[in-house]
A and B are shown apart, each in its own frame.
Chain A
Amino acid sequence: GAGVSQSPSNKVTEKGKDVELRCDPISGHTALYWYRQSLGQGLEFLIYFQGNSAPDKSGLPSDRFSAERTGGSVSTLTIQRTQQEDSAVYLCASSRGRSNQPQHFGDGTRLSIL
């Protein structure tokens, strides 16, 4: 489809393992955002990519979290040495990157750390 695609949709892993979450933005969208949403809570900003600019990493909760965006398209969020408090839904969104262009969200990856 033409929407934001995230994979996997669900991920269960053991504490201490590394995980990689993938986001395919809408074609042509230069801005990409990652958010974390705990059960029943709001959206916690993690990281923002805009074109070729250096990403805004100010929302990453610890140095175990990192993200890349290759070729201005696909993005990967990596969590190293996962902890139980990392359990949440990780949402990706993209937009055309101009200030008046709204974001479009994927359905998220539900991450469960055992």
Chain B
Amino acid sequence: GQQLNQSPQSMFIQEGEDVSMNCTSSSIFNTWLWYKQDPGEGPVLLIALYKAGELTSNGRLTAQFGITRKDSFLNISASIPSDVGIYFCAGQLALGTGANNLFFGTGTRLTVIP
């Protein structure tokens, strides 16, 4: 399958700080997605990006679809304790012959220190 390199693997930040994480790939994707997973729950979609260069915000979250279509970043501004969790990027290919078309990064574990 496709390889997505997500960094950093983990982050410890003070409440109120801004956070940035990113995903890179050697493959071109049609869609980039960012998910957050809380303990004991499934990942929840935060932001979906559909066009190269697209910059999309969702509250304190901002994500961009890289112009080369091979990367994406997620920023969280003014972090709060409930931002704690694991953040996953995912790249989606155009549908083809029925093969899996969605590939996940390895996750960024965020800890916010009050």
Contact = CB atoms under 8 A, between A and B. Distances in A.
A102 B98 CA distance: 16
B31 interface: yes
The residue in B43, B94, B104, B105 that gathers the most chain A C-beta atoms within 10 A of its C-beta is B43
- Range of interface residues on A (Cβ < 8 Å): 20 to 34
B97 interface: yes
Interface in A79-114: 91, 93, 97-100, 102-108
Interface residues of B, number: 31
A76 interface: no
B44 interface: yes
Given A42-B104, A42-B106, A42-B107, A48 B43 contact: no
Contacts of A98: 95
Contacts of B101: 48, 99
28 contacts: A4-B42, A41-B106, A41-B107, A42-B88, A42-B104, A42-B106, A43-B104, A45-B104, A48-B101, A50-B95, A50-B98, A53-B97, A55-B98, A56-B100, A58-B1, A58-B100, A91-B42, A99-B92, A99-B93, A99-B94, A100-B50, A102-B45, A102-B92, A104-B45, A107-B40, A107-B41, A107-B42, A108-B42
Interface of B: 1, 30-31, 33, 35, 40-45, 48, 50, 88, 90, 92-95, 97-107, 109
